[in-house]
Amino acid sequence: CERALLCGYLHQPLTLRDPQVACRVSKVIGARKLLLGSAAASSSETADSPALDSWAIDSGIVAGMSGLFPALDLMDEPLLGAAELAQLESAEDAALSLSSCSAPQLSEWYHLLTQLIDKVHQHVVLNILSTFNPAEARLTNRTAEA
């Protein structure tokens, strides 16, 4: 959804500075953070202080620090790692920054979204395979790792 919305603004990136457009983009980013988690939430954990409760996260995500899937016990680990989320959020921040007078650079953001969507799709396919045919899923997982 985020990449589809971004496609509409690739030809005129300055439209992302329009308040209505920025609001739409922010809602989509918030939905993605709800589902997949946030790098800001992951970086708040340290060895001395345990993870904050989901209601106390600065980003306002209430599903859990690592996204909705682990919060609902549908997965043990989040779909995307903290480093991947941090890279994506950095590209978003650069593209949506109001401090620059030039047009936002959307290509890096779009490229990262494409890579991460592919990774999520691969993960979903492997989970579907493991549900219906565990032996086939192990073979496919070994092939994907090679």
User: pLDDT tens digits, residue range 74-130?
Assistant: 778 888 888 998 998 888 888 887 776 666 678 888 888 989 889 888 888 888 888
CB atoms < 10 A from the CB of 85, how many? 25
Contact between residue 16 and residue 103 where contact means Cβ atoms under 8 Å apart:
no
What is the distance between the alpha carbons of residues 102 and 135, in angstroms, rounded to a whole number? 53
User: Residue 116: what residue type?
Assistant: L
- Nearest-angstrom CA–CA distance, 32 and 120: 12
The three-point CA angle 57-63-65 to 5° equals: 45
User: What is the CA 138 to chain-centroid distance, rounded?
Assistant: 26
Q: Residue 138: pLDDT band by 50, 70, 90 thresholds?
A: low
The model's pTM is 0.68
The tokens of 39 are what? 């790098």
What does the pLDDT look like over 61-77, one tens digit per residue? Answer: 456 668 888 887 777 88
Residue showing tokens 């494409």 = 114
